[in-house]
Amino acid sequence: MTPEHSSTQPQVERRRGGRRRDDPTPVGVIGAGNMGSHHVRTYSSLGGICELRGIYDLDGERCRAVARQFETHAFASIEEMLDEVKAVSICTPSALHVEHALLALRAGVDVLIEKPVALTVEHAQALRDSVASCSRQPVVQVGHIEHFNPAVREVAKLLEGEHIVALELQRLSPFDGRIVDADVVQDLMLHDVHVLLALAGEHALTDVHAVGRRVRSPELDDYAVATLTFDDGLIGTLVASRVTEEKIRRLSATTEQSHVTVDYLRRTVERCRSTHLELDGGGSRTYRQESLLERVFVPIEEPLVAQLRSFLGCVRERDAPEVGLDMGIRCLAVVQAIRDSISRKPSSSKLPSAQADRTTSDFAEVRRRPQPSPAAA
């Protein structure tokens, strides 16, 4: 081939194993439980950017059932899967997250670890140390899915420029006996801990007070309420339940200028703010304060789809994930402080400082973007 001819050919960047940069990324899922099944379903729908190679679970029968449902392969071992993929979702029980993540990282496979990244801060920090020692910097994303909830992103825009007085977050669910290795703080409240820390931005957490109650579980709290205070005076109240006979997912923000409410399940975001009207009272001017209710459009996008798209983009471009290990560890530290408060013992986890991780900066960037024009009601 002459040099002239070769110079006209498109230059295609190739990755390890001869793959082109724009080839679909081969992926797999470890864990065939409820969350693992959702990851398999979602990867199956993203055929243009990934190729689902299969699923692995210690329960072979369950693994084969999920594989049949989504017409993919049931691997006989984790090692067999890791030989076939470049990225995996780890959706196994929380106690196995670090073990399975290390297996993947040693095989040169990027990972998305479902929350919590580990059961303890110490185990998560050990994983971070292992990541830092990798010769090839891997992508390690933590599955805090509410980061990708379009309603939460819209709230971040609405709160731009406002002084937040308080945030209240409710996450209530009926009892589900599947979760046996985590209490309600680790299982449900963790989602809202992440949202609260992200919306609080760079302000440091200064105090944690919490109470909890066991209802259906003999050794684990099923209901918990936590109050978190930040150095700017922001008060965050978190309520989590897995014994409430109604599924509720709500966020409420009180600022000095407005009140914002979000219903995740109904996909609604509303803002109530005051307005001052000047009236001509026959020679004298009077003022009347009224409340204006605005309903904000929420884009239709499944958070899990957005999360996996973001992960695959990081794998392809070798970017840092939007929710990385630092934020995962910070959330775990707050969860541990809440659990210590419930048990009435001195916290074994130092309250985390507000790190300039990508989650915080991403929410700050969302809050700086131009706001949509809400429809006044």
Residues 16-30 have pLDDT tens digits of 445 566 789 999 999
Q: Please report the pLDDT score of residue 13 as a whole number.
A: 38
Task: Calculate Rg over the CA atoms of the chain.
Answer: 23
The pLDDT assigned to 179 comes to: 75
The fraction of the chain above a pLDDT of 70, given in percent, is: 82
**Is a pLDDT exceeding 50 seen at residue 145?**
yes
245-277: per-residue pLDDT in tens?
Answer: 999 999 999 999 899 999 999 989 999 987 765
Quick one: pLDDT at residue 164? Answer: 95
| pLDDT for the residue 274 | 76
Of 39-48, 162-171, 172-181, give the lowest mean pLDDT range. Answer: 172-181
* Residue tagged 């029968």 (tokens): 61
Q: What angle do CA 158, 159, 160 make, to 5 degrees?
A: 95
Q: Find out whether 57 and 81 touch, Cβ atoms under 8 Å.
A: no
Distances from the Cα of 98 to the Cαs of 101, 106, 113, in angstroms?
Answer: 5, 12, 9
> Rounded to an integer, what distance in angstroms lies between the CA atom of residue 206 and that of residue 230?
5
367 DSSP 8-state letter: H
Compute the mean pLDDT over every residue in the chain, rounded to the nearest whole number: 87
Residue range 42-52, pLDDT digits in tens: 999 998 999 99
- Integer Cα distance of 131 and 298 in angstroms: 36
| pLDDT band at residue 181 using 50, 70 and 90 as cut-offs | confident
Distance CA 38, CA 311 (A): 15
Q: In the 8-state DSSP scheme, what is residue 282?
A: S
Q: With 60 as the cut, is the pLDDT of residue 6 above it?
A: no
Q: CB 133: neighbour CB atoms within 10 A?
A: 8
β-sheet bridge partners, residue 52: 27
Burial of 350 (0-12, 13-18, 19+ CB in 10 A): exposed
Q: Which of 67-71, 117-121, 200-204, 371-375 has the lowest mean pLDDT?
A: 371-375
Point out which residues pair with 293 in neighbouring strands.
272
CA-CA distance, 295 to 158, in Å (whole number)?
Answer: 11
All structural domains of the chain, each given as residue ranges with its CATH number in brackets, are: 14-138 (3.40.50.720), 149-300+323-376 (3.30.360.10)
Residue that the structure tokens 């729908």 belong to: 45
pLDDT level of residue 38 (50, 70, 90 thresholds) = very high
The residues pairing with 168 across neighbouring beta strands, listed in sequence order, are: 237, 252
**What pLDDT is attached to residue 368?**
45
Supply the pLDDT for residue 69: 97
**pLDDT for residue 360 is more than 60:** no
pLDDT for 371 beyond 90 = no
Q: What per-residue string of b and e applies to 302-317 under the rule 16 or more CB within 10 Å gives b?
A: ebbebbbbbbbebbbe
**What is residue 177's predicted lDDT score, i.e. its pLDDT?**
79
The pLDDT-based confidence of 12 (bands split at 50, 70, 90) is very low
pTM of the model: 0.82
pLDDT band for position 286 (cuts 50, 70, 90): low
End-to-end CA gap in the chain:
68
Task: Pick 367 or 127 by higher pLDDT.
Answer: 127
Kindly compute the dihedral angle of the four CA atoms of residues 75, 79, 84, 86, in this order, to the nearest 10 degrees.
120
Residue with tokens 């000095």: 256
Is the bond preceding 24 in cis, omega lying within 30 degrees of 0? no
Confidence of residue 130 (pLDDT cuts 50, 70, 90): very high
The answer to whether 35 and 182 have CB atoms below 8 angstroms apart is no
The string of DSSP letters for 138-174 reads --EEEE-GGGG-HHHHHHHHHTTT--EEEEEEEEE--
Residue 210 has pLDDT above 90, yes or no: yes
For residues 200 and 234, give the distance between their C-alpha atoms in angstroms, rounded to a whole number: 8
Taking a C-beta distance cutoff of 8 angstroms, is the pair 166, 254 a contact? yes
Residue 369 has pLDDT above 60, yes or no: no
pLDDT the model gives residue 365: 56
Say what the pLDDT of residue 292 is: 85
pLDDT at 340 over 50: yes
